[in-house]
Amino acid sequence: MGKLGISIYPEHSTVEKDMEYIALAHKYGFKKIFTCLLSVEGDKEKILKEFKETIHYANQLNMEVMVDIAPRVFGSLGISYDDLSFFAELGAYGIRLDMGFTGNEESIMTHNRYGLKIEINMSNATKYLENIMDYKPNKENLVGSHNFYPHHYAGLSYPHFIKCCESFKKHNIRTAAFISSHAATYGPWPIMEGLCTLEMHRELPITTQAKHLYATGLIDDVIIANAYASEDELKQLSLVNSGLLTFNVNLHETITALERKIVLEEFHFYRGDVSDYLIRSTQSRVKYKSEEFKPTYTPDIRRGDILIENELYGQYKGELQIALKEMKNSGKTNVVGRIAEEEIFLLDYLEPWGKFQFNINGSGKER
């Protein structure tokens, strides 16, 4: 199962505020924390003391703290890649290499005596990972995560993202990507126009961003990059099922009590004999074959509409469908609701025999 994470930036906040945020995220089942040690300007001892205090608090809650570190910080702290005791003493779960070495160093780091995870950058689509693999790393301690982008239009394109992820999945390496909170106000740098991995996510609701990453099948862990996300955002994300595609829907006033029950409570899967026009979930027509399904609201059909066949369709009555294309409505099909506009693109990720469910838009009641 995927894990959820938050990010903290101690240089821009206080220990108290960070701990409060960590406690809130823990309340909603978040397991991971991303943080930066990109500079140690100023009072080095004070910075490291506060860093250690915050990490210790997170560890008490069984959360995994990944520390992002720039090569220059290795130098300024006198740390060598073959001695990672500094990070073990900090209490870190692992370190993320903001920039890499040559491959052999990363491999050596994965064999560290402390069991620290070594997280490498996934966003460049070079032979970097293959190079590390040639040096026989301890794969148990090697993980990957994408970059995040505070500049509008600078986030990754979707095809590039896929290309980057596939090489990591080929080697069964755990992956992570970042999503953006709309309530958060800062990240590691002064510029902050949202903070996400994929550019297409920048304006989307935070739960839709997470659903999309999970739906690709290429991302294990989803981390909010900017701070601080709102409690409502944390709560909504905690309800997202990483293994079951769930669509936010708006139901029409014409829906009957039985149709509503079919949409929200029945178990749905995409029938394997695929149509260009419809995703069919057919069990409800069997279960409710003796029930009445009167014609109600029967306008022409658009992609993203949720349909239940009425009794004019004979043996098909009670069958639930999702429209993939525009279609004429003969009057035999009740249009009972519609997938939230910003989630219609997720239909592309539902495959034959895939299981799915619906959630009333904004209700936060995913199972």
Q: What is the pLDDT of residues 281-333, one digit of tens each?
A: 999 999 999 999 999 999 999 999 999 999 999 999 999 999 999 999 999 99
- DSSP helix, strand, coil percent of the chain (3-state; round to 5): 35, 25, 45
What are the residue boundaries of the structural domains of the chain, listed by start? 4-242, 247-360
Q: Identity (one letter) of the amino acid at 35? A: T
pLDDT band per the 50, 70, 90 thresholds, residue 39: low
Q: Does the pLDDT value for residue 84 go beyond 70?
A: yes
- Binning pLDDT at 50, 70 and 90, where does residue 113 land? very high
Percentage of the residues of the chain whose pLDDT score is greater than 70 = 97
pLDDT in tens, 166-221: 999 999 999 999 999 999 999 998 899 999 999 999 999 999 999 999 999 999 99
- For residues 125 and 322, the model is more confident at 322
The number of angstroms, rounded, from the C-alpha of 339 to the middle of its chain's C-alpha atoms is: 19
Highest mean pLDDT: which range of 69-83, 88-102, 276-290: 276-290
- Local confidence band at 75 (pLDDT 50, 70, 90 cut-offs): confident
- The whole-number average pLDDT for the span 46-57 is 90
Nearest partner of 259 among 299, 319, 215, judged by Cα: 319
Is the pLDDT at 367 greater than 70? The verdict is: no
Question: 4-242 and 247-360: same fold?
Answer: no
| Phi-psi group of 135: left, alpha or beta (phi > 0 → left; psi -120 to 50 → alpha; rest → beta) | alpha
How many CA atoms does the CB half-sphere of 161 hold within 13 Å? 25
Q: Which fold has domain 4-242?
A: TIM Barrel (3.20.20)
Confidence of residue 361 (pLDDT cuts 50, 70, 90): confident
Assigned CATH topology for domain 247-360: Cyclophilin (2.40.100)
Q: What share of the chain has pLDDT > 90, as a percent?
A: 84
3-state secondary structure 300-358: CECCCEEEEECHHHHHHCCCEEEECCCECCCCCEEEEEEECHHHHHHHHHCCCCCEEEE
Give tens-digit pLDDT for 143-179.
999 999 999 999 999 999 999 999 999 999 999 999 9
d(CA 314, CA 310): 8
AA identity, residue 81: Y
Over its C-alpha atoms, the chain yields an Rg (Å, rounded) of 24
Query: Mean pLDDT in the chain?
Result: 94
pLDDT score for 363: 56
